[in-house]
């Protein structure tokens, strides 16, 4: 059964079904435009609302609440940029971005973290 057909069952719609309907129409528009960001703009959504990304801020002068990000900001220059910058000469930003992406994949998935178990 297609997703669109599952909404026309003749029963009252729940709040989740209403949200799903809006997202379905947004996804159809994004497919027609071949651009999700542009579809979100036309429908009045931000990309963060569409992806259900919650923006949270840390408390001021409280580094403990933002420790994971602070540690990444310290580790990235110490363990990656200074080391990789000596080994590789980057001609373009795309080359550098590819190396940073591979480092972050290893940092997030293969490296053990003491702060999070």
Report pLDDT digits (tens) over 8-45.
445 556 777 766 667 677 777 777 778 777 777 777 77
Residue 98 resides in a domain: yes
**Residue 97 and residue 72 in one domain:** yes
**Residue 36 and residue 70 in one domain:** no
pLDDT at 115: 60
pLDDT at 43: 76
Q: Does residue 114 have a pLDDT over 70?
A: no
Residue 56 resides in a domain: no
- 3-class SS of residue 111: coil
pLDDT at 98: 92
Residue 55 resides in a domain: no
pTM for the full predicted model: 0.45
**Residue 43 and residue 75 in one domain:** no
| Structural domain boundaries, residue 12 | 5-50
**Residue 32 and residue 9 in one domain:** yes
**Residue 76 and residue 46 in one domain:** no
The whole-angstrom separation of Cα 47 and Cα 50 is 5
Residue 79 resides in a domain: yes
């Amino acid at each position: 059964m297609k997703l669109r057909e599952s909404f026309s069952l003749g029963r009252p719609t729940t709040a989740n079904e209403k949200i799903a309907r809006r997202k379905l129409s947004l996804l159809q528009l994004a497919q027609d435009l071949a651009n999700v960001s542009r579809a979100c703009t036309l429908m009045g959504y931000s990309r963060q609302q569409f992806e259900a990304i919650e923006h949270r801020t840390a408390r001021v002068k409280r580094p403990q609440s933002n420790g994971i990000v602070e540690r990444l900001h310290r580790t990235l220059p110490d363990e990656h940029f200074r080391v990789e910058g000596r080994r590789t000469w980057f001609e373009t930003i795309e080359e550098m971005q590819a190396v940073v992406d591979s480092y972050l994949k290893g940092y997030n998935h293969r490296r053990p973290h003491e702060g999070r178990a």
